[in-house]
């Protein structure tokens, strides 16, 4: 038995989904140890004992793991953003590969899942094109920009994040200097007073266009012209062009970052970027994959799995701004995209038009509701948020029986759940390809291919 506050020596052998080290006591009790990595020998301080497991913190690192590396970011330990900066990249990839496999086996009940070797990234730092930094205040009540401490809403000041686009450091220090010099108050979550809540940035890595949005507790930003001037200048210094400066209004005292109302302060309400030879308009509320280098590889895999010859009807469900739809359109007869965010569909339609693509049509609505109304598909691509596909959509897919289903997923647990339903509905799982879109974090993206099982005489 373990007791709270007990200290025990543990060998860490694996990692949890959240990135905690896992060790076992001599009695076989699993202990989740924060700040511990596979290969570490630690003195663990037990903080919570449950029926089948315990939770501990690392009191002392007795022998460090050979897979430990120096974190690039000085606040890596405090900040809640990166869980894996101390783990060698090769081990990060191994963990993600194992995690996807384990989910498919345990949650999906899939024996020997057809795993492809995870596609790693070349640029494992400064790869993100989008960020949402919380704004708070220091002990002198002056604005600070940073990141939330793990499991909290305290802001760890940091304008130089190791995984964000390196240009963000300059942009954010400029915004912070503006807020301080013009004495613009940070929003206070407790009192609901103050103005600036979050700074949103998005950079087109290919286009070099910059969008900055200040999420505010009100629509009016004092001295906005000074911020415009500063940001035009600062972005120019790092080879970017400020194309969009926005104020988003969020007066609600909730954890939701972005509010419904947005004002353009300077430029347009979107930036442009491209993936391969397709150009995209991206507005602030629209989803856009965060790691451009890896997105390209992910979409190429989706394209390969879709196996298009030019005659197919394709559904691209959860299509965002139509990125995958337009990527596939040149090889399909017709693509139907469905997405719940109206601004994203507006972008998707513009995107078809600016690329002279005439065989893609887009619909606003929930995939599970709209899918029912579309012409029968040969291929279905789904790319749902973490909660996976709605049960009703799975039923529709099984009823319309596409030849191929390409499932793009950012959560291996819901992927496994949904794959299991599709396999039970008569599909064969051909490939599962993890792609590391989120280096230094425990998140993992995958793309899977399912093909309709054929009767014996059809097989060759
Ligand atoms: N395939 C796109 C977007 C994937 S992210 C890309 O690669 O860029 C998932 C998208 O699903 C988001 O744009 C989100 O707004 C949308 N979404 C969430 N729930 C939805 C639902 N029930 N029906 C349709 N779209 C939904």
Tokens linked to 273: 């970027």
Residue 325 Cα to ligand 1 midpoint, Å, equals 12
pLDDT tens for 156-176 read 888 899 999 999 999 999 999
The pLDDT score that the predictor gives to residue 137 is 94
Cβ of 318 closer than 6 Å to ligand 1, yes or no, is yes
Cβ of 249 closer than 6 Å to ligand 1, yes or no, is no
58-65 contacts at long range (C-beta below 8 A, 24 or more positions apart) = 58/21, 58/33, 58/34, 59/7, 61/36, 62/9, 64/39, 64/40, 65/12, 65/37, 65/38, 65/39, 65/40
The pLDDT score that the predictor gives to residue 122 is 97
Positions annotated as catalytic residues are: 410
Residue 457 has pLDDT above 70, yes or no: no
Mean pLDDT calculated for residue range 194-205: 98
pLDDT tens for 186-197 read 999 999 999 999
By most ligand atoms within 8 Å of CB, the mutation choice from 306, 318, 363, 380 for ligand 1 is 318
pLDDT tens for 349-390 read 999 999 999 999 999 999 999 999 999 999 999 999 999 999
Cβ of 366 closer than 6 Å to ligand 1, yes or no, is yes
Residue 33 has pLDDT above 80, yes or no: yes
A 10 A CB-CB count for 50 gives 11
CA 122 to chain CA mean position, Å: 18
Helices 391-400 and 412-424 meet at what angle, rounded to 10?
40
Residue 141 Cα to ligand 1 midpoint, Å, equals 39
pLDDT tens for 63-120 read 999 999 999 998 888 877 888 999 999 999 999 999 999 999 999 999 999 999 999 9
The pLDDT score that the predictor gives to residue 153 is 85
What string of DSSP letters covers 43-64?
A: EEEEEEE-SSEEEEEEEEEEE-
Q: Whose CA is nearest to atom 10 of ligand 1?
A: 318
Kindly report the average pLDDT of the chain as a whole number.
Answer: 95
Distance, in Å, from the CA atom of 212 to the CA atom of 200, rounded to the nearest integer, reads: 6
Cα-Cα-Cα-Cα dihedral of 340, 345, 346, 347, to 10°?
130
Position in ligand 1 atom list of the atom nearest CA 286: 13
A 10 A CB-CB count for 3 gives 8
A 10 A CB-CB count for 421 gives 17
The pLDDT score that the predictor gives to residue 433 is 98
pTM of the predicted protein model: 0.94
Say which residue, 207 or 160, is predicted with more confidence: 207
Are 288 and 343 in contact, with CB atoms under 8 Å apart? no
Are 195 and 187 in contact, with CB atoms under 8 Å apart? yes
CA 152 to chain CA mean position, Å: 20
Per-residue pLDDT band for 456 (boundaries 50, 70, 90) equals: low
Distance, in Å, from the CA atom of 59 to the CA atom of 214, rounded to the nearest integer, reads: 40
Residue 149 has pLDDT above 90, yes or no: no
Residue 155, beta-bridge partner list: 148
Percent of the chain scoring above 90 in pLDDT = 90
């Amino acid at each position: 038995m373990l007791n709270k506050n007990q200290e025990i020596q543990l060998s860490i052998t694996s990692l949890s989904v959240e990135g905690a080290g896992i060790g076992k006591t001599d009695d076989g009790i699993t202990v989740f140890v924060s700040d511990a990595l596979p290969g570490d020998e630690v003195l663990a301080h037990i903080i919570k004992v449950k029926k089948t497991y315990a939770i501990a913190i690392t009191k002392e690192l007795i022998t460090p793991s050979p897979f430990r590396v120096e974190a690039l970011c000085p606040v890596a330990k405090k900040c809640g953003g990166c869980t894996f900066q101390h783990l060698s990249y090769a081990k990060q990839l191994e963990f993600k590969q194992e995690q996807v496999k384990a989910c498919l086996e345990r949650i999906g009940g899939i024996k020997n899942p057809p795993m492809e070797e995870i596609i790693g990234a070349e640029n494992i730092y400064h790869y993100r094109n989008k960020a949402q930094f919380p704004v708070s205040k220091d002990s002198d009540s002056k604005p600070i920009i940073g990141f939330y401490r793990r499991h909290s809403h305290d802001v760890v000041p940091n304008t130089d994040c190791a995984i964000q686009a390196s240009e963000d450091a300059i942009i954010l220090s400029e915004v912070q200097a503006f807020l301080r010099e013009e004495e613009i108050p940070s929003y206070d979550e407790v009192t609901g007073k103050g103005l600036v809540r979050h700074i949103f940035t998005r950079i087109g890595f290919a286009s070099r266009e910059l969008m900055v949005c200040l999420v505010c507790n009100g629509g009016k930003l004092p001295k906005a012209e000074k911020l415009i001037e500063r940001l035009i200048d600062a972005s120019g210094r790092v080879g970017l062009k400020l194309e969009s400066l926005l104020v988003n209004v969020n007066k609600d005292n909730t954890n939701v970052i972005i509010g419904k109302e947005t004002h353009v302060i300077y430029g347009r309400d979107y930036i442009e970027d491209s993936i391969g030879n397709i150009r995209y308009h991206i507005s602030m509320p629209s989803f856009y994959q965060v790691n451009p280098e890896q997105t390209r590889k992910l979409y190429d895999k989706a394209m390969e799995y879709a196996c298009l010859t030019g005659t197919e009807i394709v559904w691209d469900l959860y299509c965002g701004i139509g990125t995958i739809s337009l990527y596939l359109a040149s090889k399909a007869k017709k693509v139907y995209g469905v997405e719940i965010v109206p601004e994203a569909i507006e972008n998707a339609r513009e995107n078809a038009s600016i690329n002279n693509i005439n065989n893609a049509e887009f619909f606003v609505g929930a995939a599970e509701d709209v899918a029912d109304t579309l012409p029968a598909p040969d291929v279905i691509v789904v790319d749902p948020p973490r909660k996976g596909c709605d049960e009703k959509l799975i039923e529709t897919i099984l009823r319309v029986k596409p030849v191929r289903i390409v499932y793009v997923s950012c959560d291996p647990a819901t992927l496994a759940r949904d794959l299991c339903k599709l396999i039970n509905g008569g599909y064969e799982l051909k490939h599962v390809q993890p792609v590391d879109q989120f280096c230094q974090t425990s998140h993992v993206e995958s793309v899977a291919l399912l093909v309709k099982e054929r009767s014996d005489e059809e097989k060759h």
